[in-house]
Chains A and B, each alone.
Chain A
């Protein structure tokens, strides 16, 4: 699936070591985004969030590539998909060299197209830390509304941080 700047495709084996090195091995970054305690992980570990998996009905993991150079730029996922409530959550993590280029907005747009149009979801949600201004700006640009602040909800490198919830409904979405 393509946006204006990025292509989202299934994970392939050669992505995995790049993602593990540049995303997982960044302990502070990992702590901010995963909600799970960082642990040392050997190459090829089954515990890797970035490994190649079979498709499921609960989550759709993608690798993000730049359209211009066809280079791996990060990961994106529609996760915690609920068919009962027809909702899903956006997850996104770009490799350090690809941040600040507007790729994030494009990734979220493509995931919204996948969620609202292909899957027929009713609601998509983004959960991020209140100080993650890049992610919040991306969400608001795509039309997500600020809905809630979960106070002191995330343990990150020695302190509890606030988490913000942004939501977008299918009928509000402008492709």
Chain B
């Protein structure tokens, strides 16, 4: 379990899955904006679910986010595209609607960086988001990320091609 100031990141539990699939995957707009894949109806227990329980892997670490104050499930976070040779990884996160706007995003990004740099010994962490996702952009900046550029019209999102802003943070000793 990884502890931040506002949230705890722990392994996925069976009880999390239906909540995350309903509130996060069930949000067609939010999922289309964050996943880079076409939204698709998913039956409970589907293999394709981003929120199902998986065995630990060297390529991806899936977490459930829990609010520290109330011990309530607040969302999902992932360190994925872990590359042990290039010593880099990518951050993704999505919060349940009731837990947005509370500064959890920044806390989650900080905790995932700490995991990546200290526990895994990585050299670089990246994240990207749509150019109009101000909450995510602010979380990245507050967590010490540098904006490295914009991929123009790289994400098909609900009928239009949107720009993707790319961020990177290097390990402190880099």
What per-residue 1/0 map shows which CB atoms of B52-95 lie under 8 Å from chain A?
A: 00000010000000000000000000000000110100000000
The B interface is mostly helix, strand or loop, or mixed, namely loop
Are B84's CB and A84's CB within 8 A? Answer: yes
Q: What is the distance, in angstroms, from B160's C-beta to the closest C-beta of chain A?
A: 40
Are A84's CB and B85's CB within 8 A? Answer: no
Number of A-B contacts (CB under 8 A): 10
Can you offer 10 A-B residue contacts whose CB atoms are under 8 A?
A83-B58, A83-B84, A83-B85, A84-B84, A84-B120, A84-B121, A86-B121, A119-B85, A120-B85, A120-B87
B residues with a Cβ closer than 8 A to A are 58, 84-85, 87, 120-121
Interface size of A in residues (CB-CB distance below 8 Å): 5
- Find chain A residues with CB under 8 A from B87 CB: 120
What per-residue 1/0 map shows which CB atoms of A75-118 lie under 8 Å from chain B?
A: 00000000110100000000000000000000000000000000
Closest 6 A-B residue pairs measured CB to CB? A83-B84, A83-B85, A120-B85, A119-B85, A84-B84, A84-B121
Q: What is the distance, in angstroms, from A10's C-beta to the closest C-beta of chain B?
A: 19
Q: Beyond the given A84-B84, A86-B121, could you list 8 further A-B residue pairs with CB under 8 A, ordered by the A residue number?
A: A83-B58, A83-B84, A83-B85, A84-B120, A84-B121, A119-B85, A120-B85, A120-B87
